[in-house]
Amino acid sequence: MGFFSNFLKTKPKNSTTEINIVAPLSGSIINIESVPDTVFAEKIVGDGIAIIPSNNEMVAPIDGEINKIPDTLHAFSIKSKEGIELFVHFGIDTVNLKGKGFLKIIGNKKEVKKGDVIINFDLNFLIKNAKSIITPIVISNMEKIKTIKKMSGTVIAGKTTVMIVTI
């Protein structure tokens, strides 16, 4: 019985796992190719979507661990237990603001659940001072991804699915 019960617990090598990624900000989805920065538009750092934000907080788009929040607080990376690595980058050239307009809520290497607030931001300040507020959400380890289905429309942070990926 031991071999048989262990056999039932192992997944076949060709099996897939489907993961829903929710919106890290409220707003409207646009195609990643429309982001006014070639690093994102040409998918140099990964594939995904972008959101034109309408709220003032960035939340965890998946359950996982915060890998890195730079000192400039304009972005974060998160890794799910399944191994998906996501990068959320608020706006374009927001690194130049040196953290102005952003407030970190959760630190590096912290476990988070989908919807947990990671960074608060002052949307009005950023609209006035950033090159763009369009926020790319990209999967940075695309080599692990079998398929990616991208959604469109208006989304609510922590609630609305923006991508469904299979690994």
CA distances from residue 55 to 19, 25, 74 in whole angstroms, order as listed: 25, 7, 15
Q: What is the pTM of this model?
A: 0.90
CA distances from residue 48 to 34, 90, 106 in whole angstroms, order as listed: 11, 14, 24
pLDDT band at 15 (very low <50, low <70, confident <90, very high): confident
Active site residues: 89
Strand order in the sheet with 57-59: 57-59, 117-121, 102-104
- Residue-level pLDDT at 9: 52
Task: State pLDDT tens for residues 102-138.
Answer: 999 999 999 999 999 999 999 999 999 999 999 999 9
Strand order in the sheet with 18-22: 18-22, 161-166, 147-150
